[in-house]
Amino acid sequence: MAKEIIRIEKEDIKNLSFPKEEVLKTKEAQNSRAIILKRALSLGNLEHVKVEIVFQDNIGVKRVETTIWGLTTTGVILKESTVIPLNRILEVTEK
pLDDT at 95: 80
User: With 70 as the cut, is the pLDDT of residue 1 above it?
Assistant: no
Q: In what order do the strands lie in the sheet with 75-77?
A: 70-71, 75-77, 83-85
Q: Are 89 and 54 in contact (CB under 8 A)?
A: yes
Q: What is the DSSP letter of 2?
A: P
Domain boundary assignment for the chain: 6-94
Give this prediction's pTM.
0.93
Per-residue pLDDT, 2: 54
- Residue 84 has what pLDDT? 98
Per-residue model confidence as pLDDT tens digits over 25-79: 999 999 999 999 999 999 887 888 899 999 999 999 999 999 999 999 999 999 8
Q: Does the domain at residues 6-94 carry the CATH identifier 2.30.30? A: yes
